[in-house]
Amino acid sequence: MVSCQEVKVDLYLKSLDLAQLQLRNYQQHSLKDIWTVIYFFKVNLRLYLIVLRT
């Protein structure tokens, strides 16, 4: 059985990878996508704090 914390960490890492991927190719992206990257980092930070608390 996968623990709740493991799922959170997995989700955190996946979204972090996605955000880094988007940042790497940000020249090809519109402004909207850059805001998506910023949003992902906000979500990552929140998830990370949740993981630290559990």
Tens of pLDDT, residues 31-40 = 666 777 788 8
Is residue 1 scored above 70 in pLDDT?
Answer: no
Q: For residue 47, what pLDDT is reported?
A: 80
Do 50 and 11 touch, CB atoms closer than 8 A? no
Q: Which residues contact 13 (CB under 8 A, 6 or more apart)?
A: none
Residues 6-22: what's their mean pLDDT? 77
Q: What is the DSSP letter of 21?
A: H
Residue range 3-8: mean pLDDT, rounded? 77
